[in-house]
Amino acid sequence: MKKRYFIAGTDTDVGKTYVSVGLLNAAARKGLRVLGLKPIAAGAELVDGSLKNEDALLLHGASNVKVSYEQINPVVLEQAIAPHIAASLAGRLITASRLEGFLKGSLLMPHDFALVEGAGGWRVPLNDRESLSDLACALGFPVIMVVNMKLGCLNHAILTAEAIHRDGLNLVGWVANTPQETVMPYYQENLASLQAALSAPLLTELSWQPNDPQDAAFDALFEAL
């Protein structure tokens, strides 16, 4: 039976890609066919003559299902700004239905475990009427929420969880992710506050260190799903 999840963040730069790549690698260690998708990405550079996003490249590298970069990241925008503004500047109109169509095409590839990674936070606009959450709702996948454990995370996490529930999706759990070389003051107290406030379970705690793959933590996270 296929497992598919939507990876949501409480903000931008919270570690969604770090969690996604770690989970894909954990599933691959179990012998599963894995696929990580980034339907829209803002912030890209020319690589071999075409625009590519760093996060999407990481997902592509962690996917053992052989697909093209374009199947991983169908909409890539050059400027690292809000996607709807980047799209407008590029003369493009991005809609949830169009992104859903791209993803459904990619998800036709044989796979056992797939992740769809969002961009920014839950309500990031796609255009004047839609946000990325409309895509998540259209897909209907269970949601994993990544929380960047820093000052302000309580409000961001609680509001994001409320929005996910209000949209009728299943928030299967959340990940407490500590930024590089940073420990939040009163970390344990803030963690306990989130555990009390959120109905979804804490799946794991991670320390976002680029040279520490934390394989055991990601293996445990995969087993918790």
Q: Give the start-to-end residue ranges of the domains of the chain.
A: 3-224
Average pLDDT, the chain: 95
> Which pLDDT does position 126 carry in this prediction?
97
Q: What is the pLDDT of residue 210?
A: 62
The CATH number assigned to the domain with range 3-224 reads 3.40.50.300
Instruction: Encode pLDDT of 93-131 as tens digits.
Output: 999 999 999 999 999 999 999 999 999 999 999 999 999
Whether the model clears a pTM of 0.85, i.e. scores above it, the answer is yes
CA distance 139 to 209: 31
Residues of the chain with pLDDT under 50: none
38 is a catalytic site residue: yes
Q: What is the pLDDT of residue 161?
A: 98
The predicted pLDDT at position 211 comes to: 67
Task: Check 38, 52, 104, 150 and give the catalytic one.
Answer: 38
Q: Give the pLDDT confidence score for residue 21 in this predicted structure.
A: 96
